Amino acid sequence: MLNTTHFNFKNLAISVGILHFALLVGCGNNAQQNTDHQAAQTTVAELPKEVRIAWGGGPRVWVLGKADGDFEKAFGTKIKWVEFATGADVINYFAANEIDIARFGSSPAVAGITRGLPIEIIGLEGLVSSAERLIVRPEIKNLQDLVGKKVAFPANSTAQYALEQALALQKIDKSKIQLLPLKPAEIVAAWTRGDIDAAYVWGPFTQQLEKAGGQEIYRTTTLNDQGILVYNNFAVRKAFAAQHSDLVVKFLKTYQEQVDEYKRDPKAASEKISKYLSLPYDQVETTLAGIEYIALKDQATEKYLGATANDEKSGLAKATLDIAKFLVNIGELKQSDLPKSYAPNINSQYLIEATK
Protein backbone atom coordinates (compact mmCIF):
# COMPACT_ATOMS: atom_id res chain seq x y z
CA MET A 1 0.00 0.00 0.00
CA LEU A 2 1.29 3.45 -0.81
CA ASN A 3 2.69 5.27 2.19
CA THR A 4 -0.08 7.83 2.52
CA THR A 5 -1.46 6.93 5.91
CA HIS A 6 1.57 6.50 8.11
CA PHE A 7 3.73 9.01 9.89
CA ASN A 8 5.95 9.78 12.84
CA PHE A 9 3.81 11.12 15.68
CA LYS A 10 6.79 12.77 17.35
CA ASN A 11 7.14 15.01 14.31
CA LEU A 12 3.46 15.75 14.65
CA ALA A 13 4.02 17.46 17.98
CA ILE A 14 6.45 19.84 16.31
CA SER A 15 4.15 20.48 13.37
CA VAL A 16 1.20 21.10 15.61
CA GLY A 17 3.20 23.60 17.63
CA ILE A 18 4.07 25.49 14.49
CA LEU A 19 0.43 25.63 13.53
CA HIS A 20 -0.59 26.86 16.99
CA PHE A 21 -2.67 23.73 17.31
CA ALA A 22 -3.33 24.43 20.94
CA LEU A 23 -5.03 27.67 19.97
CA LEU A 24 -7.32 25.77 17.69
CA VAL A 25 -8.48 23.22 20.24
CA GLY A 26 -7.57 24.62 23.63
CA CYS A 27 -9.92 25.67 26.36
CA GLY A 28 -9.26 29.34 25.67
CA ASN A 29 -10.36 29.13 22.04
CA ASN A 30 -13.66 30.93 22.48
CA ALA A 31 -13.75 32.11 18.89
CA GLN A 32 -13.48 28.57 17.55
CA GLN A 33 -16.07 27.33 20.03
CA ASN A 34 -18.46 30.06 18.97
CA THR A 35 -17.92 29.21 15.31
CA ASP A 36 -18.59 25.54 15.94
CA HIS A 37 -21.71 26.43 17.96
CA GLN A 38 -23.03 28.66 15.18
CA ALA A 39 -22.34 25.97 12.60
CA ALA A 40 -24.16 23.41 14.72
CA GLN A 41 -27.24 25.63 14.73
CA THR A 42 -27.30 25.72 10.94
CA THR A 43 -29.52 23.14 9.30
CA VAL A 44 -29.57 24.55 5.78
CA ALA A 45 -26.63 26.45 4.36
CA GLU A 46 -25.60 27.85 1.03
CA LEU A 47 -23.23 25.72 -0.99
CA PRO A 48 -19.61 26.53 -0.24
CA LYS A 49 -17.58 27.89 -3.13
CA GLU A 50 -15.49 24.75 -2.90
CA VAL A 51 -15.17 21.58 -0.85
CA ARG A 52 -11.59 20.72 0.08
CA ILE A 53 -10.84 17.00 0.02
CA ALA A 54 -7.48 15.50 0.99
CA TRP A 55 -6.24 12.55 -1.05
CA GLY A 56 -2.99 10.61 -1.08
CA GLY A 57 -2.33 10.63 -4.81
CA GLY A 58 -2.21 6.85 -5.02
CA PRO A 59 -4.53 4.21 -6.49
CA ARG A 60 -7.80 4.11 -4.57
CA VAL A 61 -11.30 3.23 -5.69
CA TRP A 62 -12.55 6.76 -5.14
CA VAL A 63 -10.09 8.01 -7.77
CA LEU A 64 -12.73 6.78 -10.23
CA GLY A 65 -14.96 9.60 -9.01
CA LYS A 66 -12.12 12.09 -9.18
CA ALA A 67 -11.32 11.09 -12.73
CA ASP A 68 -14.95 11.32 -13.88
CA GLY A 69 -15.87 14.43 -11.87
CA ASP A 70 -18.58 12.50 -10.00
CA PHE A 71 -17.99 14.27 -6.70
CA GLU A 72 -18.37 17.71 -8.30
CA LYS A 73 -21.60 16.57 -9.97
CA ALA A 74 -22.97 15.24 -6.69
CA PHE A 75 -22.01 18.33 -4.67
CA GLY A 76 -22.98 20.91 -7.26
CA THR A 77 -19.87 22.91 -6.46
CA LYS A 78 -16.13 22.92 -7.07
CA ILE A 79 -13.80 20.49 -5.32
CA LYS A 80 -10.26 21.37 -4.36
CA TRP A 81 -8.19 18.19 -4.18
CA VAL A 82 -5.41 18.63 -1.62
CA GLU A 83 -2.71 16.01 -2.01
CA PHE A 84 -0.85 14.74 1.05
CA ALA A 85 2.14 12.47 1.63
CA THR A 86 1.52 11.24 5.18
CA GLY A 87 -1.14 11.17 7.86
CA ALA A 88 0.75 13.97 9.62
CA ASP A 89 -0.04 16.20 6.64
CA VAL A 90 -3.74 15.43 6.99
CA ILE A 91 -3.77 16.34 10.67
CA ASN A 92 -1.91 19.57 9.98
CA TYR A 93 -4.35 20.45 7.20
CA PHE A 94 -7.32 19.84 9.48
CA ALA A 95 -5.72 21.86 12.26
CA ALA A 96 -5.07 24.76 9.89
CA ASN A 97 -8.63 24.58 8.50
CA GLU A 98 -7.31 23.82 5.01
CA ILE A 99 -9.41 20.70 4.30
CA ASP A 100 -12.97 19.57 4.97
CA ILE A 101 -12.92 15.82 4.25
CA ALA A 102 -10.07 13.31 4.18
CA ARG A 103 -9.31 9.64 3.69
CA PHE A 104 -6.39 8.56 5.86
CA GLY A 105 -5.23 5.90 8.26
CA SER A 106 -6.77 4.84 11.55
CA SER A 107 -3.62 5.49 13.59
CA PRO A 108 -3.18 9.17 12.68
CA ALA A 109 -6.94 9.70 13.02
CA VAL A 110 -6.88 8.34 16.57
CA ALA A 111 -3.79 10.41 17.41
CA GLY A 112 -5.44 13.56 16.07
CA ILE A 113 -8.66 12.99 18.00
CA THR A 114 -6.66 12.28 21.16
CA ARG A 115 -4.93 15.62 20.80
CA GLY A 116 -8.26 17.42 20.44
CA LEU A 117 -8.53 17.79 16.69
CA PRO A 118 -12.17 18.79 15.93
CA ILE A 119 -12.96 16.00 13.49
CA GLU A 120 -15.24 12.99 13.41
CA ILE A 121 -14.97 9.65 11.64
CA ILE A 122 -17.86 9.26 9.19
CA GLY A 123 -17.08 6.02 7.39
CA LEU A 124 -14.55 3.46 6.25
CA GLU A 125 -12.70 3.35 2.99
CA GLY A 126 -12.29 -0.29 3.82
CA LEU A 127 -10.45 -2.82 5.91
CA VAL A 128 -6.79 -3.43 5.17
CA SER A 129 -6.66 -7.10 4.21
CA SER A 130 -4.19 -8.65 1.78
CA ALA A 131 -2.83 -5.19 1.00
CA GLU A 132 -0.46 -5.66 3.96
CA ARG A 133 1.37 -8.94 4.52
CA LEU A 134 4.29 -10.52 6.39
CA ILE A 135 6.92 -11.71 3.93
CA VAL A 136 9.71 -13.96 5.23
CA ARG A 137 12.76 -15.98 4.20
CA PRO A 138 11.97 -19.59 3.16
CA GLU A 139 13.32 -21.07 6.40
CA ILE A 140 10.67 -19.18 8.44
CA LYS A 141 7.45 -21.20 8.47
CA ASN A 142 5.34 -19.46 11.13
CA LEU A 143 5.26 -16.54 13.55
CA GLN A 144 7.08 -18.51 16.25
CA ASP A 145 10.06 -18.81 13.91
CA LEU A 146 10.49 -15.02 14.06
CA VAL A 147 12.12 -15.30 17.49
CA GLY A 148 15.76 -14.30 17.14
CA LYS A 149 15.18 -12.90 13.64
CA LYS A 150 15.31 -9.38 12.21
CA VAL A 151 11.85 -8.16 11.23
CA ALA A 152 11.32 -4.80 9.52
CA PHE A 153 8.18 -2.66 9.25
CA PRO A 154 7.24 0.97 8.46
CA ALA A 155 7.15 2.86 11.76
CA ASN A 156 3.86 4.01 13.28
CA SER A 157 1.83 2.34 10.55
CA THR A 158 -1.09 -0.04 10.23
CA ALA A 159 1.53 -2.63 9.24
CA GLN A 160 3.33 -2.20 12.57
CA TYR A 161 -0.02 -2.33 14.37
CA ALA A 162 -0.91 -5.55 12.55
CA LEU A 163 2.49 -7.12 13.30
CA GLU A 164 2.31 -6.36 17.01
CA GLN A 165 -1.29 -7.59 17.24
CA ALA A 166 -0.35 -10.82 15.45
CA LEU A 167 2.55 -11.44 17.85
CA ALA A 168 0.34 -10.72 20.85
CA LEU A 169 -2.32 -13.18 19.66
CA GLN A 170 0.36 -15.87 19.40
CA LYS A 171 1.73 -14.88 22.83
CA ILE A 172 5.17 -14.24 21.32
CA ASP A 173 7.50 -12.02 23.32
CA LYS A 174 8.40 -9.25 20.88
CA SER A 175 11.50 -8.39 22.94
CA LYS A 176 12.99 -11.63 21.60
CA ILE A 177 12.63 -10.37 18.01
CA GLN A 178 14.87 -7.70 16.47
CA LEU A 179 12.20 -5.25 15.29
CA LEU A 180 13.52 -2.70 12.81
CA PRO A 181 11.51 0.39 11.76
CA LEU A 182 12.32 1.13 8.12
CA LYS A 183 10.67 2.94 5.25
CA PRO A 184 9.22 0.60 2.57
CA ALA A 185 11.97 1.32 0.04
CA GLU A 186 14.57 0.78 2.77
CA ILE A 187 12.95 -2.57 3.58
CA VAL A 188 13.45 -3.77 0.00
CA ALA A 189 17.06 -2.58 0.01
CA ALA A 190 17.74 -4.28 3.37
CA TRP A 191 16.17 -7.50 2.09
CA THR A 192 18.35 -7.42 -1.02
CA ARG A 193 21.47 -6.99 1.11
CA GLY A 194 20.41 -9.86 3.36
CA ASP A 195 20.15 -7.60 6.41
CA ILE A 196 16.63 -8.66 7.42
CA ASP A 197 14.78 -11.95 7.67
CA ALA A 198 11.19 -10.73 7.36
CA ALA A 199 9.09 -7.63 6.79
CA TYR A 200 5.49 -6.58 7.35
CA VAL A 201 4.64 -4.08 4.63
CA TRP A 202 2.18 -3.27 1.83
CA GLY A 203 2.17 -3.61 -1.94
CA PRO A 204 3.93 -3.14 -4.26
CA PHE A 205 6.82 -3.72 -1.84
CA THR A 206 5.45 -7.12 -0.83
CA GLN A 207 5.59 -8.23 -4.45
CA GLN A 208 9.18 -7.02 -4.72
CA LEU A 209 10.17 -9.08 -1.68
CA GLU A 210 8.44 -12.15 -3.11
CA LYS A 211 10.24 -11.74 -6.43
CA ALA A 212 13.47 -11.74 -4.42
CA GLY A 213 12.66 -15.08 -2.78
CA GLY A 214 10.32 -14.09 0.03
CA GLN A 215 7.18 -15.99 1.06
CA GLU A 216 3.97 -14.82 2.73
CA ILE A 217 3.09 -16.40 6.08
CA TYR A 218 0.59 -13.86 7.43
CA ARG A 219 -1.78 -11.18 6.16
CA THR A 220 -3.86 -8.54 7.91
CA THR A 221 -7.04 -10.29 6.79
CA THR A 222 -6.46 -12.74 9.65
CA LEU A 223 -6.76 -9.96 12.23
CA ASN A 224 -9.93 -8.55 10.69
CA ASP A 225 -11.45 -12.04 10.76
CA GLN A 226 -10.74 -12.17 14.51
CA GLY A 227 -12.41 -8.83 15.19
CA ILE A 228 -9.24 -6.71 15.29
CA LEU A 229 -10.10 -4.04 12.75
CA VAL A 230 -7.26 -2.56 10.72
CA TYR A 231 -8.69 0.10 8.45
CA ASN A 232 -8.51 3.42 6.65
CA ASN A 233 -11.23 5.90 7.50
CA PHE A 234 -13.03 8.96 6.17
CA ALA A 235 -13.08 11.96 8.50
CA VAL A 236 -14.66 15.40 8.33
CA ARG A 237 -14.28 18.67 10.20
CA LYS A 238 -17.13 18.84 12.70
CA ALA A 239 -17.96 22.44 11.84
CA PHE A 240 -18.18 21.62 8.13
CA ALA A 241 -20.35 18.57 8.78
CA ALA A 242 -22.71 20.54 11.01
CA GLN A 243 -23.17 23.19 8.35
CA HIS A 244 -23.18 20.93 5.29
CA SER A 245 -24.44 17.56 6.48
CA ASP A 246 -26.13 17.05 3.10
CA LEU A 247 -22.74 17.22 1.36
CA VAL A 248 -21.26 14.68 3.77
CA VAL A 249 -24.12 12.31 2.90
CA LYS A 250 -23.58 12.94 -0.82
CA PHE A 251 -19.88 12.25 -0.40
CA LEU A 252 -20.58 8.84 1.11
CA LYS A 253 -23.19 7.99 -1.52
CA THR A 254 -20.80 8.95 -4.32
CA TYR A 255 -18.02 6.89 -2.78
CA GLN A 256 -20.34 3.86 -2.66
CA GLU A 257 -21.01 4.38 -6.37
CA GLN A 258 -17.26 4.14 -7.04
CA VAL A 259 -17.05 0.92 -5.01
CA ASP A 260 -20.01 -0.49 -6.96
CA GLU A 261 -18.32 0.41 -10.27
CA TYR A 262 -15.12 -1.30 -9.15
CA LYS A 263 -16.91 -4.45 -8.01
CA ARG A 264 -18.82 -4.71 -11.31
CA ASP A 265 -15.59 -4.75 -13.31
CA PRO A 266 -12.36 -4.64 -11.28
CA LYS A 267 -10.20 -4.87 -14.38
CA ALA A 268 -11.83 -1.95 -16.15
CA ALA A 269 -11.75 0.16 -12.99
CA SER A 270 -8.08 -0.66 -12.40
CA GLU A 271 -7.25 0.21 -15.99
CA LYS A 272 -9.04 3.56 -15.70
CA ILE A 273 -7.20 4.47 -12.51
CA SER A 274 -3.90 3.22 -13.91
CA LYS A 275 -4.28 5.50 -16.92
CA TYR A 276 -5.50 8.47 -14.88
CA LEU A 277 -2.59 8.27 -12.40
CA SER A 278 0.00 7.08 -14.96
CA LEU A 279 0.85 4.08 -12.78
CA PRO A 280 1.58 0.46 -13.78
CA TYR A 281 -1.62 -1.59 -14.06
CA ASP A 282 -0.40 -4.45 -11.85
CA GLN A 283 0.44 -2.04 -9.03
CA VAL A 284 -3.03 -0.48 -9.21
CA GLU A 285 -4.78 -3.84 -9.47
CA THR A 286 -2.94 -5.25 -6.43
CA THR A 287 -3.57 -2.18 -4.29
CA LEU A 288 -7.30 -2.04 -5.04
CA ALA A 289 -7.75 -5.77 -4.53
CA GLY A 290 -6.00 -5.64 -1.16
CA ILE A 291 -8.80 -3.66 0.50
CA GLU A 292 -12.03 -5.19 1.81
CA TYR A 293 -14.79 -2.77 0.87
CA ILE A 294 -17.70 -2.58 3.33
CA ALA A 295 -21.08 -1.42 1.98
CA LEU A 296 -22.46 1.71 3.64
CA LYS A 297 -25.47 -0.16 5.00
CA ASP A 298 -23.13 -2.64 6.68
CA GLN A 299 -20.93 0.12 8.06
CA ALA A 300 -23.99 1.58 9.81
CA THR A 301 -24.21 -1.42 12.15
CA GLU A 302 -22.76 -2.17 15.56
CA LYS A 303 -20.05 -4.28 13.91
CA TYR A 304 -18.49 -1.15 12.42
CA LEU A 305 -19.46 2.50 13.11
CA GLY A 306 -22.72 1.73 14.90
CA ALA A 307 -26.45 1.60 14.18
CA THR A 308 -26.79 4.93 15.99
CA ALA A 309 -24.52 7.96 16.11
CA ASN A 310 -21.73 7.84 18.71
CA ASP A 311 -22.42 4.19 19.57
CA GLU A 312 -20.25 3.25 22.55
CA LYS A 313 -20.58 -0.46 21.72
CA SER A 314 -19.60 -0.25 18.06
CA GLY A 315 -16.70 -2.17 16.57
CA LEU A 316 -14.96 1.08 15.72
CA ALA A 317 -15.33 2.41 19.26
CA LYS A 318 -13.42 -0.66 20.44
CA ALA A 319 -10.93 -0.53 17.57
CA THR A 320 -10.01 3.11 18.22
CA LEU A 321 -9.30 2.34 21.87
CA ASP A 322 -7.12 -0.60 20.85
CA ILE A 323 -5.20 1.62 18.43
CA ALA A 324 -4.77 4.28 21.11
CA LYS A 325 -3.33 1.69 23.51
CA PHE A 326 -0.96 0.56 20.78
CA LEU A 327 0.20 4.17 20.27
CA VAL A 328 0.78 4.47 24.02
CA ASN A 329 2.81 1.23 24.03
CA ILE A 330 5.13 2.51 21.31
CA GLY A 331 5.52 5.87 23.08
CA GLU A 332 3.58 8.06 20.64
CA LEU A 333 0.74 8.96 23.01
CA LYS A 334 0.49 9.35 26.77
CA GLN A 335 -1.90 7.12 28.71
CA SER A 336 -3.13 10.18 30.60
CA ASP A 337 -4.25 11.80 27.34
CA LEU A 338 -6.55 8.97 26.26
CA PRO A 339 -10.30 9.62 26.53
CA LYS A 340 -12.59 7.01 28.05
CA SER A 341 -14.13 6.51 24.62
CA TYR A 342 -13.68 7.69 21.03
CA ALA A 343 -17.40 7.18 20.30
CA PRO A 344 -18.14 10.95 20.49
CA ASN A 345 -15.91 11.31 17.43
CA ILE A 346 -17.47 8.40 15.50
CA ASN A 347 -20.66 9.53 13.78
CA SER A 348 -22.65 6.98 11.79
CA GLN A 349 -25.59 9.34 11.25
CA TYR A 350 -24.34 10.29 7.77
CA LEU A 351 -24.09 6.63 6.82
CA ILE A 352 -27.62 6.05 8.06
CA GLU A 353 -28.91 8.98 5.98
CA ALA A 354 -26.93 7.82 2.94
CA THR A 355 -28.57 4.40 3.00
CA LYS A 356 -32.19 5.55 3.38
Q: What is the pLDDT of residues 76-98, one digit of tens each?
A: 999 999 998 777 889 999 999 99
Q: Half-sphere exposure of residue 23, counting CA atoms within 13 Å on the CB side?
A: 7
Q: How far from 240 is each of 62, 98, 109, 185, 243, CA to CA, in Å? A: 21, 12, 17, 37, 5
Q: Which residue has the higher pLDDT, 300 or 7?
A: 300
Q: Which residue has the higher pLDDT, 3 or 291?
A: 291
Confidence of residue 7 (pLDDT cuts 50, 70, 90): very low
Helices (H), 45-204: 63-68, 70-75, 87-95, 106-114, 158-169, 184-193
Confidence of residue 156 (pLDDT cuts 50, 70, 90): confident
- Which pLDDT does position 85 carry in this prediction? 74
Instruction: For residues 189-205, give the mean pLDDT.
Output: 93
Report whether pLDDT(4) > 70: no
C-alpha 94/C-alpha 236 separation (Å) is: 9
Among 19-23, 84-88, 130-134, where is mean pLDDT lowest?
19-23
54-67 residue pLDDT tens: 998 888 999 999 99
Secondary structure (3-state) at 47:
coil
Please choose, from the candidates 305, 315, 323, the residue with its C-alpha nearest in 3D space to the C-alpha of residue 109.
323
Residue 310 φ then ψ, to 5°: 55, 45
Q: Evaluate whether the domain defined by 132-219 bears CATH number 3.40.640.10.
A: no
| CATH (one of 3.40.50.1000, 3.40.190.10, 3.40.50.10860, 3.40.50.300) for 9-129+229-354 | 3.40.190.10
Cβ-proximal residues to 279 (8 Å cutoff; 6+ apart), any chain? 58, 59, 273
C-alpha 221/C-alpha 219 separation (Å) is: 5
Q: How many CB atoms lie within 10 A of CB 176?
A: 11
Strands 50-55 and 132-136: unpaired
Q: Which residue has the higher pLDDT, 118 or 184?
A: 118
For the chain, give every residue range classified as CATH 3.40.190.10: 9-129+229-354, 132-219
236-261 residue pLDDT tens: 999 999 999 999 999 999 999 999 99
Using CB atoms within 10 Å of the CB of residue 174, give its burial: 0 to 12 exposed, 13 to 18 middle, 19+ buried: middle
Which pTM does this prediction carry? 0.78
- Which pLDDT does position 190 carry in this prediction? 98
